[in-house]
């Protein structure tokens, strides 16, 4: 029996849209498995460009995000990279951050309408990504010139020395810090997740520079936070009937392949690669979102710009976003390929020496 779907809510799937979603899912999964987050910022606008309504795109994306994060977290747990306790502690405060983020969004929506809300989201994107992305990239370049090994950042060292009850020990992250210092990191992660859908852009740098976790543990632990927040968000969206299971399953088919490859990649390349990939993606995405600002400023009557130019900037913005994700994937795959070749060469040399 064939059932007709509500055409306002669910799109007709074509071969090209299936291939597009599968490929973006794979690349997004690869980046997520490697740096702990990413992919969502291309998937949601990508689905919307296919004609999927915004709420269905967000809900279907979230419904694929939490199982992907679960599979990635399990894989990286096996490599000893996940600090479950740290992930759950941060996820708890992130939950509060999500609620506050949604509340702020609603206040802005009521006061300035959809254009004001979009402007707020884009401004948050640009501000956070430029500030945090620049620092991550600067630190990555600095580390790559040195030994490439992670040293505890100065801020984290200072905070770890403050004995403020209750102190918590995170064994896998190999750090001891007051619970109070974990709260703002989790809260900001949740707020960013509610605003721009990629909490990891605050969560991972926060774990590294504020709490003092290594890049490997931070990116792996972010998957636990993404799982917890994604599951909570999906329950909410699914109860409102917004999940398009077809879109979710197509993206999941690609992302489960990608997330495992990304997780394997973390064991093959130097730890500093995580920061390089994350910093590069954040800075390019910031440029992409900056191009979206004039449209919303014009809608609010704060800027005068022609519709043709707005349309061109919109398209350029989306292309740059895809470039950011693809560049991240290329860096990861390139680094993995080099590492696999070096390992094979070393194994062949050892076999030759033994013979």
Partner 1 sequence: MAQEVTKKQALLRMAGFGVASAAIYGAVFQHANALTEMFSRGGVYAAMPIATVFLVSYVHGGFASNLWSALGITAKSPAKTAQPAKTKRPEVRATLNA
Site residues, partner 1 (CB under 8 A): 1-6, 9-10, 13, 63-64, 66-68, 70-71, 75, 78-81, 171-174, 214, 216-217, 231, 234-235, 238-246, 248-249, 252-253, 256-257, 260-261, 263-264, 267-268, 336, 339-340, 343
Q: How far is the CB of 188 from partner 1 (least distance, A)?
A: 25
Q: Between 133 and 262, whose beta carbon lies closer to partner 1? A: 262
Q: Between 76 and 289, whose beta carbon lies closer to partner 1? A: 76
Q: How far is the CB of 116 from partner 1 (least distance, A)?
A: 29
The two tokens of residue 110 are: 């009521």
Q: How far is the CB of 181 from partner 1 (least distance, A)?
A: 20
DSSP for 124-183, please give it.
HHHHHHHHHHHHHHHHHHHHHHTT------HHHHHHHH---SSEEEETTTTEEEEHHHHH
Q: How far is the CB of 170 from partner 1 (least distance, A)?
A: 11
Q: Between 167 and 319, whose beta carbon lies closer to partner 1? A: 167
CA distances 180 to 65, 153, 183, 186, 224, Å, are 28, 18, 5, 10, 20
Q: How far is the CB of 47 from partner 1 (least distance, A)?
A: 14
Q: How far is the CB of 347 from partner 1 (least distance, A)?
A: 11
Q: Between 152 and 299, whose beta carbon lies closer to partner 1? A: 152
CA distances 163 to 173, 216, 236, Å, are 18, 26, 38
Q: What count of other Cβ atoms lies within 10 Å of the Cβ of residue 269?
A: 22
Q: Are 216 and 274 in contact (CB under 8 A)?
A: yes
Q: Between 10 and 125, whose beta carbon lies closer to partner 1? A: 10
Could you check whether the bond before residue 110 is cis, i.e. omega within 30 degrees of 0?
Answer: no
Q: How far is the CB of 246 from partner 1 (least distance, A)?
A: 5
Task: Count Cβ atoms within 10 A of the Cβ of residue 218 and give its class: 0-12 exposed, 13-18 middle, 19 or more buried.
Answer: buried
The two tokens of residue 282 are: 């954040």
Q: Residue 140: which of 33, 274, 323, 326 has the closest Cα?
A: 274
Q: Between 147 and 311, whose beta carbon lies closer to partner 1? A: 147
Q: What count of other Cβ atoms lies within 10 Å of the Cβ of residue 198?
A: 26
Q: What is the rounded CA–CA span in Å between residue 4 and residue 246?
A: 14
The two tokens of residue 183 are: 């709260």
Q: Between 173 and 177, whose beta carbon lies closer to partner 1? A: 173
């Amino acid at each position: 029996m064939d059932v007709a779907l509500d055409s306002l809510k669910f799109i007709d799937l074509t071969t090209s849209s299936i291939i597009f979603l599968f490929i973006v899912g794979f690349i997004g999964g690869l980046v997520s498995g490697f740096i702990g987050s990413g992919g969502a910022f291309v998937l949601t606008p990508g689905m919307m460009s296919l004609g999927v309504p915004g709420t269905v795109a967000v809900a279907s994306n979230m419904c694929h995000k939490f199982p992907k994060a679960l599979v990635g977290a399990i894989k990286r747990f096996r490599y000893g990279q996940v600090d479950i306790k740290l992930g759950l502690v941060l996820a708890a405060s992130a939950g509060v951050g999500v609620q506050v983020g949604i509340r702020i969004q609603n206040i802005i929506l009521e006061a300035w309408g959809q254009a004001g809300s979009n402007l707020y989201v884009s401004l948050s994107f640009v501000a956070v990504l430029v500030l945090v992305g620049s620092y991550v990239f600067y630190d990555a370049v600095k580390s790559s010139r040195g030994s490439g090994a992670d040293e505890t950042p100065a801020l984290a060292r200072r905070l770890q020395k403050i004995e403020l009850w209750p102190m918590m020990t995170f064994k896998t992250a190999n750090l001891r810090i007051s619970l109070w210092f974990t709260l703002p990191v989790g809260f900001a992660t949740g707020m960013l997740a509610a605003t721009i859908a990629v909490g990891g852009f605050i969560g991972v740098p926060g774990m590294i520079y504020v709490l003092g976790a290594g890049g490997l543990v931070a990116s792996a632990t972010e998957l636990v936070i993404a799982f917890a927040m994604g599951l909570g968000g999906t329950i909410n969206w699914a109860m409102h009937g917004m999940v398009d299971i077809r879109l979710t399953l197509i993206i999941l088919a690609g992302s489960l392949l990608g997330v495992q490859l990304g997780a394997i990649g973390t064991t093959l390349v130097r730890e500093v690669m995580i920061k390089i990939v994350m910093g590069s993606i954040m800075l390019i995405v910031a440029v992409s979102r900056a191009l979206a600002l004039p449209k919303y400023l014009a809608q609010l009557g704060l800027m005068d710009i022609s519709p043709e130019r707005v349309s061109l900037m919109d398209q350029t913005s989306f292309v740059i976003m895809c470039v950011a994700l693809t560049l991240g994937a290329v860096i990861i795959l390139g680094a993995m390929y080099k590492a696999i070749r070096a390992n094979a060469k070393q194994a062949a040399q050892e076999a030759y020496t033994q013979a």
